[in-house]
Amino acid sequence: MNFIGTALPDFQVNAFQAGEVIPITPDTLQHHWSVLFFYPADFSFVCPTELGDLADHYAAFQKLNAEIYSISEDTEFVHQAWHAQSPEVGKVDYPMIADPAGVLARHYEVLDEQAGQAYRGVFILDEAGRVRSYTVNDMGVGRNAEEILRTLTAAQFVAEHGDRVCPANWHPGESTLKPGTDLVGKL
């Protein structure tokens, strides 16, 4: 299934954040950009490096009116225990969503049913909760927070300037393109 432009399903899950368990619903993800960051499991190997990398870049995401939501099939209590034990995960200030029933992982088709774990999916949602970008990696392939941040800024630019597009490796402040016949065969 192609998820570009699709809306969130109806759901209610819990998340661990700042020592508290908080409810998360589709309304929670409205009026700001959201990065849904699926990962296989707490107390694992690649996952803490990814969550720590996101934590190191969290302020940059917040400056762009974006919230990060990490998501695994673990419970909010396992998230809390992992947060308390792991130096990397202990840096996390963003919500860590518990999806033990697989509601979100199934909706976005990233759940490996046999393993009971989510593949490494990143879904960037706009302020209306619609998918603007997504990637899915195999279990062993870690992701880079800087590339997610770059993709978010490009998605925000395109949303704001609908007549312009961002070329490969684009970063804010660099030249963009205005699609038209005058560019055909010239790039």
Whole-angstrom Cα distance, residue 151 to residue 172?
A: 11
Catalytic residue among 8, 13, 41, 47: 47
Alpha-carbon distances, residue 53 vs 9, 46, 47, 183 (angstroms): 28, 11, 10, 38
What is the rounded distance in angstroms from the CA atom of residue 117 to the CA atom of residue 28? 24
Number of H helices, E strands in the chain: 5, 9
Examine the residue annotation and report whether 166 is marked as an active-site residue of this protein: no
Burial 68-90 (b: 16+ CB within 10 A, else e): bbbbbbbbbebbbbbbeebebbe
Length of the chain (residues): 187
Element (H, E) at 24: strand 20-24
Would you name the residues annotated as active-site residues? 47
